[in-house]
Amino acid sequence: MAYAYRNLKNPQNIASGIADYVLLAPVSDFAEGGIMCPEGPYNNPGDEVIVKNNHVFKAGKEFVKFLLAPEKNELSAKTIGDLGFQKLDFELKIFVPGSYAEAHEAVKNIINTPLIVLAKDSNCPANMYYQLGCDCIFAWAKFDFSTGTTKNGNKGYDGTITYQNGYVQLYAGGLAGGGGGGNPSTQFTAFWGVLNDGDALPNAAAIAASPHHAVFNKGAAVVADFTYNHAPKRLWMAEPSTEPAKTVWYGDPLNNGPIGPDETFGAPTTVAPYRLYVTTFDTENESTPIQFRVS
C-alpha cells in the first residue's frame, strides 16, 4: 500500500478548469475485460488512484472527441451518503456548441448508454485525464438543447455526465484504441510475455497490461525481447489483428522457422482486437530478441 498518511506541504496544479474537449466511449465498444481501473501493486504515492493500463477496444473502436465551448466546462464531486458509507458524486458539466445533424445524432446515441469518459485537466502539459466510469460502475450522460434567442443565449447542448466513486480516478494509459502509444494512423503497439504451465492464454486486458511492449510502424516486423526469460516457459506475442499476419520468426541463424501448425510458434489465434502467437512448448534463455515478420 503506497499511501502512508503523508503530509501535503507543496500544493501542485492549482490552476482551475478542464480542457476544451472530452473523450467518450460506450461500454459496448470495449473488448471483454478491456475497461481499466487502478490496480496494485501500489508502489508509489498516488498509485491507488491512477489507471496505468491501457483501455482495450474492440477492433475499429476508440474514444470519440467532443470539442466544447470555452469557459463553460467543469468537473466537480460532492460527498454523499451516511457517515462511514460515504463516496463522491461526480458531475462533469460540458457545453457542446452548435446545431447540426452530426451533433444531434451523437447525443441521440449517447443518452441512455453506459459510458467511459475522460476529461483532460486544463494544465495541458501535465497530460492528466480524469476518468469517469470503471469496469462495473459506468458514467451516464444527459443533455439539454437550446437555440438561445436572436438577442442572447447559446446554441447547443448543455451536458451533464454523472458517476459515483469513492475517489478521483486519473487515467495514465494510452488513447490509441487498444494501443498503448504511438500515432494510431501510422504505428501500432505489440505486446509480449511468457506463460507458466497451466496458465490460460492471455485475454485482451492481460495483453494490454503486459509491461513488455513497443511501438512499430504499420506493416513492419515486430521485435520482441524475451531475453529476460531464464526459466522454461511458453512465449507469446500479440499484435493488432489489422496488421499483416506474420509467417516466420527469427532469433539467430540457428533459431528461426515458420509460424504455423506443429511449429515452434503455432498458428496464431484471434483475441480481439489482437492476433496472438504462442510457442507450442516451453523455452528459455533467449540470447537475442525475436523478430516476427512476413516472409
| Residue 12 pLDDT exceeds 90 | no
Separation between Cα atoms, residue 188 and residue 207, nearest integer Å: 14
Phi, psi at 126, each rounded to 5°? -70, -20
pLDDT confidence of residue 189: 84
pLDDT digits over 70-119, tens only? 999 999 999 999 999 999 999 999 999 999 999 999 999 999 999 999 99
Residue 253 is given by DSSP the state T
pLDDT tens digits along 137-182:
999 999 999 999 998 889 999 999 999 999 999 998 777 544 444 4
Domain locations in the chain as residue ranges:
18-171, 187-293
pLDDT at 183 over 70: no
Q: What percent of the chain has pLDDT over 70?
A: 95
**Residue 91 corresponds to which cell in the numbers above?**
458531475
Give the pLDDT confidence of 202-219 residue by residue, as tens digits.
998 888 878 888 888 889
Instruction: Give the H or E element holding residue 51.
Output: strand 50-51
What is residue 178's predicted lDDT score, i.e. its pLDDT?
A: 44
Model confidence, pTM = 0.64
Would you say how long the chain is, in residues?
A: 295
> Which residue reads 494544465 in cell numbers?
123
Cite the beta strand spans of 128-207 per DSSP E: 129-132, 140-146, 156-165, 170-171, 187-195
Taking residues 215-243, what's their average pLDDT?
A: 91
